[in-house]
A = this chain, B = another copy of it.
Amino acid sequence: MTRSYTFPTPCDFHVHLREGNMLDLVAPMTAREFGRALIMPNTAKPILTGLDATRYRAEILDVVEEADIHDFDPLMTIKLTKETTPDTILGAGEFVIAAKLYPEGVTTNSDDGVKSVRDLYPVFEEMQRQDMVLCIHGEEPGVFVMDREEAFLNRLGMIATSFPKLRIVLEHVTTAAGVQKVHDLGDNVVATITAHHLFLTLDDVLGSRLHPHHFCMPVAKRPHDRAALLGVALAGDRQFFLGTDSAPHTKDAKQCADGCAGVFTAPVAMPLLLDLFDSQNRLAELSAFTSSNGNRFYGGRPMRKLATYRQEAWKVPSEYPLDGSPMNYPACLVPFRAGATLAWKRKE
């Protein structure tokens, strides 16, 4: 008998959908697995205003509807830069529910990130007033890579203390220290956890061979850090929920002398999580991690529609070709767990 599991349609509270032919390829993948997703604003031409976000949202919905998916709910964000003002927040409009802070230079397309976080305090003030969520890539620039997240936690604490009603997300938490800090700061501070950080440590990136498709920012940390992430995710801890940070880059941009950071998990994150929660006898906590905790925090409607995953072996493609790339030099995306056989699959 095939086992199956039905639960509220999962949501991804941190995803990169990109633009152009990349958007065409990856947006339907996300929309097939997730009923709702928080769309990151660090596109090549960044999403800086409510108008940008409204246009980008329409573009995403066009692509998804073209793929015959009609119930996807993209939640929009804008990127904070040194040009952002309280008026940007006031005029952000109905679709923008969060603004994203990238400390300068720590991740993809963050060269226009923010150097002095304090300069943004008037913006945070307005966000607190408007009840807009602050999403933070929590790594301190200039610090040794393994210490960058922990070094940022004091700054996180200062922001949370200065704006006690501002809702804050420490995105893609990777350390035990980060988990502890979120607990310490209380209910207005939460963290997303990616799927891949539940499976990887630095050993899987460069412990014997080099695995570019396991390389992302923040980098996977130590075994005890991974254990801390698993602890709160599998417990359904209400301060933690899924944000895959699925971050597609072409194979050539990953497997080269100067490779991009990012793990592309959109098509595999949920099957992997089903397997993980099932193997730990925690399927009952899955929907807390993949929908209710995030929706409660963001104030979204609970997911009424259900999703069913079945235990059915399938092989992850070794790559996904990108339309519109040159015939003689086709570009493609390599997903996390390329070529592996996964145990769970969403029922159409």
Contact = CB atoms under 8 A, between A and B. Distances in A.
Contact of A257 (B144, B207, B213, B219): B213
Contacts of A146: 146, 202, 222
Interface in A205-220: 205-213, 215, 217, 219
A259 interface: yes
A144 B205 contact: no
Q: Is the interface of A mostly helix, strand, loop or mixed?
A: loop
Interface string A176-220: 000000000000000000000000011101111111110101010
A46 interface: no
A260 B256 CA distance: 13
Interface string A26-55: 000000000000000000000000000000
Contacts of A211: 257-259
A312 to B, nearest CB: 26
Contacts of A209: 258-261
A254 B259 CA distance: 12
Given A146-B202, A201-B144, A223-B144, A257 B338 contact: yes
B256 A202 contact: no
Nearest to A141: B208
A334 interface: yes
Contacts of A202: 144-146
Contacts of A145: 202-203, 206-207
Interface in A328-348: 334, 338
Contacts of A8: none
Contact of A212 (B207, B208, B257): B257
A255 interface: yes
Contacts of A205: 206
22 contacts: A105-B208, A106-B208, A144-B207, A144-B222, A145-B207, A146-B146, A146-B202, A206-B206, A206-B215, A206-B219, A210-B210, A210-B258, A210-B259, A210-B260, A210-B261, A211-B257, A211-B259, A212-B212, A212-B257, A212-B259, A213-B257, A257-B334
Q: Which 10 pairs between the two chains have the least Cβ-Cβ distance?
A: A210-B259, A145-B207, A210-B215, A209-B258, A145-B203, A255-B255, A210-B212, A255-B256, A206-B219, A145-B202
